[in-house]
Structure 1
Amino acid sequence: MIFTAYSDESNVINMIHTFRNEDYALIRMTSTMIEKNNLDANGILRDLLYEWRLVDYDSLDHGGRYGVSYDALFVQSGKTEVIKLKFYRVANSRGDRRFSIETIKQRMHNGEINEGDLLYISVFQNQNGEPQIYLINLTHNIPTENDLLNAIGIDAITDLFYQIRPRLQEIINGGFFDNAKGHGPIAPKDVGDTLEFLLGINTNNRNDADYNGLIEVKTKGGSRTMDTLFTLRPQFEGTRVAEYEPSDRNRVSAFARIYGYDSEKHPGYNSLYITIGSLEAPQNNQGFYLHVNDEGRTVNLVWRNPDNGKAEIAAFWTFEDLRRQLYLKHPSTLWVKAESREVNGMVQFKYNEIEFSRAPQFTTFLSLIKAGVVTYDWRGYTTKDGKYSGKNHGNAWRIKPYAKSELFGEIDAVEF
């Protein structure tokens, strides 16, 4: 079961995430859970515990005596206590996954855990290099920022952000900076490359976040243009592209060859420069749209034949691949707006605004695809037959600027 936080509880989550950015699980308390001290270990919690190598429910024998226990920090307003959590499987044929909280009934009498409260459970690496579980009641006895700082400290992202903040202030207040590549006409990537140069980041096409794999830097000059999230080529197994092209490394080019149109800029080539949205908002005239297949756990790139109206899956991404790349690229993100000018043949950039976001929500990512707010851009051209020749400009997942706050939960303007 996926538990949804109310707006005031979401505000507490956002406060927590100003200090720590690890994955977390939510549990909405019921009277039965408290009375029997028998809480459901939902899939998100099980994944969290497994990834930290704390609990592998699949390896546990049925019965409470085979469970495993850990000390956890219960962070509250004005105090932090160490309490014991036990993770186990019920002694029935299903072996239901459960956990218990030490002295939960007494805590109910004390008003620390109540029916209807939403508990936040996460793990961080403590000073001894060991995983430490902690709990926070998002509904009552909410800790202050000082309570959180004293109990769980700050993660590597927050620490890095504090380190680079003075340099960001210098850049924002520094006026116009010369294009890092030198004289010449402006290219779309120059505004970002120059900022990365000013920050001391080596410009490269790394898979993870730009700054030490912890902070992604996204820079653009126009406020109305879409924001790029990440690049990730689709898979083609079982499609017409795979049938046409045996070599997987050539299938992106084969896609443009099969589905592209005559190129005006490159005679004799096929071009495919399109934005692909949902069925309700496809955003192209070539018959392509995205379909989220919840049951099959894929996002399908569908092409509808204009001659007969028949739809076929032209390519696809698995949920797993999309989730991994989204989280890898955006553990946190600096969103920077800039303006440009040209002086004596030198393009210059002035960086005006910075926003900072933490980890995105994958479920929200999928819902935004369905709504046509997150789209996929295909950008490239190739030969019509024979040896592949042409260019792929980096096909990318993109989002409408106003929806970033929905995907990332909250985006904070960085004030200096």
Structure 2
Amino acid sequence: MLSMSDTPIERFAPVFARLNTPVAFLVPTPTGYKKSIMDAIAPVRELLYDAHVHDYQQQAQGTENKHVVPAFLVKGDGLVETQASLYRPTTKHGDPRIWFYDLKKHCRPCNLLALTVIDEAIYVFNLSDPEVAESLLQQDYAYSILQRGDKSSVIEQQLLALIRKINADGPQRSITPGDPGVGDTLEHALGIQRNNSKNPDYMGIELKATRLSRNGKMRTPTRSTLFSQVPDVGMKYREIVEKYGKVQVPRGSSEARLQLYETFRVSRPNAYGLVLDVNENADRLDMEYQDGDKRSYVASWTMKLLKERLRTKHPETFWVGATSEMIDGVEYFRYVRVMHTKNPNASLLGPLLEADKVTLDLAAHFDADGKWRDHGVLFKMDKKNFPLLFSDPEEFVF
């Protein structure tokens, strides 16, 4: 759906992320615009349900069961009062529909519409309208509609002070060899036992530590893992590797193995022919195999599950960067940087997947002896794009 939009969502996602405003996006198709009808896709249904405005699942079909709710069309300097019609037609399967009265006067086909709910009324921002866009981005009238306050956290200040002290104490000897050492050593210095659960590490704050350098050389920035989640429908993780993996000789080894180490995105298939697709009507993320012009279904994640994983893992997170050096054959870390994020706007996860701002890494193989090894199904994002998802990321350098 967003692929039809005449306006990129990336310009506006930071605004909704910063204010932690639940949002759903709609793009009127030429046909729908002409008929004054739009599909109430899953993100719209979820927005209305969570705001206690409407539950399509409980709605009977037919115009006699139509539900009309108050709505406002947001302009650059004011509001146009209107109404939204929510209904399920008697045709087909009664697929949910939505339309805003007088919308045609304020938008064109393929415009990007952002929907939010305030006090049980739907507010519509036409992000393709230059005046609305400028008012939102310049924090003028349209922005004021969304504005909310925030409170600082005593716990975050406490944790920041502890990491500053660890930095002042000098390089920390790694307690674990290899890649896990940077995170394990930080948690050990903070008095935290190693965390293999899906819950945050420090009094509700998640800790994610990465190396900024190795052996004195700065590393190329890598995407940060938001969370790990295997598909919950379709083929199992192991079955995907068995069917679509390739027999290859990994770097530094002389033995071939069946493996699948690759990034997945929506925009194009990867080297294994696998590609993602945001299925908005079914409210899920699909993995598909593309062979020529044909695609076949492989597996999927329900978007509800992915959003819940994001909310659970990152209600508040310290992304800690460390320099690394070897001393007498042992690795030492100095924790020099913290990026603080909170309040992920889970309603933006689907659009950001569709825009390739959130991608997926699958990393697994079978050893030559057939033993299975995996490093997870990892949903990742470049830190430079964090403002698209999180509310007011802050960075501290020691």
TM-score by length of 1: 0.60
The superposition leaves residues 354-408 of structure 1 with CA deviations (integer Å, 9 ceiling, x where unpaired) of 11111222343222322323211111112799xx732111120111232122221
- For 1:261, the aligned partner's letter is K
- 1:232-259 CA deviation, whole Å, 9 max, x = no partner? 001343xxx4xxxxxxxxx322221111
d(CA) in 2 for partners of 1:408 and 1:164? 19
Higher relative contact order (CA 8 A, sep 6+): 2
Q: 2:247 is aligned with what amino acid? A: D
Corresponding residue for 1:262? 247
1:198 partnered with 2:189: yes
- Shift of the 94–302 alpha-carbon distance from structure 1 to 2, 3 Å rule, reads same
SS of aligned partner of 2:361: strand
Match of 2:284 in 1: 298
Amino acid at match of 1:208: N
Inter-partner Cα distance in structure 2 for 1:313 and 1:12: 32
Residues 39-68 of structure 1: CA distance to partner in whole angstroms, max 9, x if unpaired?
A: xxx967754556xxxx997999xxxxxxxx
1: CA distance, partners of 2:332 / 2:178: 12
Residue 289 of structure 1 pairs with residue 275 of structure 2: yes
Cα distance change of structure 1 residues 201 and 120 upon mapping to structure 2, 3 Å threshold: farther
Give the 3-state SS of the residue equivalent to 1:394 in structure 2.
strand
Please name the residue that 2:371 is paired with.
Answer: 389
Q: How far apart are residue 286 of structure 1 and its match?
A: 1.3
Paired with 1:314 and 1:47, the residues of 2 have a C-alpha distance of: 30
Q: 1:161 to 1:276 in 2, by over 3 A?
A: same
1:210 matches 2:206: no
Shift in alpha-carbon separation, 1:44–1:375, aligned structure 2, 3 A? closer
Alignment partners' CA distance in 2, 1:201 and 1:98: 50
Count residues in correspondence.
305
Partner amino acid for 1:350?
A: R
Check the 8 A contact 1:337/1:353 in 2, yes or no.
yes
CA distance in 2, matches of 1:138, 1:121: 18
Contact persistence 1:262–1:270 (CA under 8 A): yes
Deviation string, structure 1 residues 58-107 (Cα, Å, up to 9, x no partner): 999xxxxxxxxxxxxxxxxxxxxxxxxxxxxxxx84344569xxxxxxxx
Aligned to 1:279: 267
What percent identity do the matched residue pairs reach? 23
Q: Residue type of the partner of 2:388?
A: E
User: Counterparts of 2:373 and 2:259 in 1: how far apart (Å)?
Assistant: 10
Task: Give the letter for the 1:234 counterpart.
Answer: P
Q: Structure 2: which 5+ runs fail to align?
A: 1-10, 25-43, 59-63, 72-77, 82-114, 120-138, 212-218
Question: 2:336 matched to 1:336?
Answer: no
Which letter does structure 2 place at the counterpart of 1:202? Q
| Partner Cα separation in structure 2 for residue 57 and residue 275 of structure 1 | 37
Deviations 1:226-284 (A, max 9, x none): 111110001343xxx4xxxxxxxxx322221111111425857411111112234x4x3
**Distance (whole Å) between structure 1 residues aligned to residue 320 and residue 273 of structure 2:** 34
For the 8 Å contact 1:25–1:48, the answer to whether it is kept is no
Higher CA-based Rg: 1
**Aligned position for 2:105:** none
Q: Which residue number corresponds to residue 34 of structure 2?
A: none
Match of 1:94 in 2: 66
CA deviation map 1:102-143 (0-9, x unaligned): xxxxxxxxxxxx747999969xxxxxxxxxxxxxx9959x8x
Q: Which of the residues 163, 166, 188 maps onto 1:168? A: 163
Structure 2: how far apart are the matches of 1:277 and 1:25?
Answer: 23
Structure 2 match to 1:179: 174
Q: Summarize deviations over 1:164-221 as a string: whole Å, max 9, x none.
A: 232122123332111123xxxx411211111122222221221132223x22212111
Cα distance in 1 for partners of 2:267, 2:168 equals 45
Contact 2:317–2:341, Cα closer than 8 Å, also in 1? yes
2:266 is matched by which residue type in structure 1?
Answer: S
> Structure 1 residues 380, 411: CA separation in 2 closer, same or farther (over 3 Å shift)?
same
Q: Equivalent residue of 2:376, what SS?
A: coil
Is the partner of 1:224 in helix, strand or coil? coil
Q: Give the equivalent residue in structure 2 for 1:37.
A: none
Q: CA shift at 1:309, angstroms?
A: 4.9
Q: Which residue of 1 aligns with 2:223?
A: 226
| 1:14-48 superposed Cα distances (whole Å, 9 cap, x missing partner) | 4x77xxxxx7689xxxxxxxxxxxxxxx9677545
Measure, in 1, the Cα distance between the counterparts of 2:116 and 2:289: 44
Instruction: Determine if contact 1:331/1:358 at 8 Å carries over to the other structure.
Output: yes
Sort the Cα spacing of 1:116 and 1:195 in 2 relative to 1 into closer, same or farther, 3 A: farther
Assess if the C-alpha contact under 8 Å between 1:276 and 1:375 holds in 2: yes
Deviates more, 1:331-340 or 1:170-179: 170-179
Aligned ranges for residues 2-401 of structure 1 at < 5 Å?
Answer: 14=18, 47-48=49-50, 93-97=65-69, 115=79, 139=141, 154=151, 158-181=153-176, 186-212=177-203, 214-221=204-211, 222=219, 224-237=221-234, 241=235, 251-264=236-249, 265=253, 267=255, 269-280=257-268, 282=269, 284-305=270-291, 309-382=293-366, 389-401=371-383
Q: Is the 8 A contact 2:289 2:297 kept in 1?
A: yes
The residue type equivalent to 2:209 in the other structure is T
Counterparts of 1:179 and 1:218, CA distance in 2: 16
Alpha-carbon RMSD across the aligned residues, in angstroms, is 4.5
Taking a change above 3 Å as real, the CA distance of residues 12 and 49 of structure 1, as seen in their structure-2 partners, is closer
CA distance in 2, matches of 1:198, 1:272: 35
